[in-house]
Structure 1
Amino acid sequence: MSKISTLQVEKVNTHIVNWLITYAENAKVNGFVVGISGGVDSAVTSTLCAQTGLSTLCVEMPIHQAPSHVSRGREHIEQLKKRFPNVTNVEADLTTIFDGFKTIVPIVSDSDKVNLSLANTRARLRMATLYYFAGIHGLLVAGTGNKVEDFGVGFYTKYGDGGVDLSPIADLMKSDVYALGKYLQIPNSILEASPTDGLFGDDRTDEDQLGASYDELEWAMLEEEKGKISENFSGREKTVFDIYKKLNTINQHKMNEIPVCIVSNDIK
């Protein structure tokens, strides 16, 4: 199930950069703000934004962050600033805010639910921070989600990293993002690192959480688009396909529009 991207990286790069420029001009904003995590998605997104020539603000928002994540993010930012004079950066350490939040909310007995809720809280604190910087500088918040995360398994936090103004790479599979990252010459330390959301304060990877690799989930997403069902597969393929379908089903609330209760005019 290993996936090799066939993306026409130069053409796609040009297309996305032009799309970003047009969107920003129509919105009458100064540029973009991107949260930098030390991962490939944020590195590619920020590099695409930087190529527009518009103001691109890279924001680090550590919350008890692993040193390796911090160092990768900083390596990328320094490289990007050397390549593009329109790139600036700022660090907003949210550790104290997060720790303070934990002291005022109730702790329940189900530790798994607590840990997941706190992980999502980290993402939502970061979203609020990005919008603060966007507001004071006249910028748009650029999302860093890819296609399999945003529309396949819903692997993001609602109103956290899912709270953005525009999504430059959300039509690209993870393998495509890596291909584009290589073309854009983002640091090898990022390209070679195991993907992780870094929301739990430990070394768990995305694959640990999802139960399958991005290559496997990408395969399952494409098979599902072809109309395949679980009974078409066996062994590891069936396991992966079932994981994909389960995650896709339970996370539809993230991917669909917020349901609105329509009240007919005759009873208003």
Structure 2
Amino acid sequence: MVRRRDAFDVRRGLFSGKRSADVNLTESPIHAVKKSKDVTGIAPKSHERYTNGIISTVETLESGNGMIADGSSKYTLPKMPGKHSDLTAISPEILADVIHGCFNDVIGDVTIIDCRYPYEFEGGHIRGAVNCYTKDDVNSLLQKPVADDKRHVLIFHCEFSSERGPKMYRFLRAQDRMLNSDSYPRLNFPEVYLLHGGYKAFFNKYQGLCDPISYKPMLHENHVADLRHFRVKSKSWTGEDGNQKTSRRHRSRLGRYLSL
């Protein structure tokens, strides 16, 4: 079975020089590589080796054998089925094990990326997490030096990991592909996960791993003005992705808050 996540990664990398509106997301990435010989300007023999190398990597990624996004090795953390089939999810239990150091022998660095708004983050977050809720935050992360000899794992989440976290995950992967378009399939961060159920699910089970031990929801009655401000600043992450649908109840509550 072809994994949608890898197909998405590959297509974004292959078409990194085009506007997103020009990308044919239904085209096989292998066909895209073969067609690319018309525009690469690479000498025929060199291009053939280059093309064959990419095709081999694409086939490895699409084989469904659990390889991370650069095809170099398998995922370190145990995965679980999630609501976003194109993203790799882990459970709150696995994240708790990560925090407790259970994977220190195979992981060099871990960054937990909390995509909620600052007032939510300050009201309680997972121990050691960083607040990252805008595109600029993601681009800043990608500019930081990454040690080649260490496996640096990223774990994204938001309140429920239903919209803001997944969207930030996808944006980082697309930007990472573009930054490394000249050395495909290399990535700064090839191993990325989404925390299933988000902060709410984690807090319900591991309050002792949260700092402070508290949970402030996005739709908090004391932060209506903050919600309006940060939604504008982050260019309204929620609801922009056509692959995600906000629940009718959530839209109704959100509308009431933003109308105040």
Same fold by TM (over 0.5)?
Answer: no
Structure 2 length-normalised TM: 0.32
Q: Which has the higher helix share?
A: 1
Structure 1 length-normalised TM: 0.31
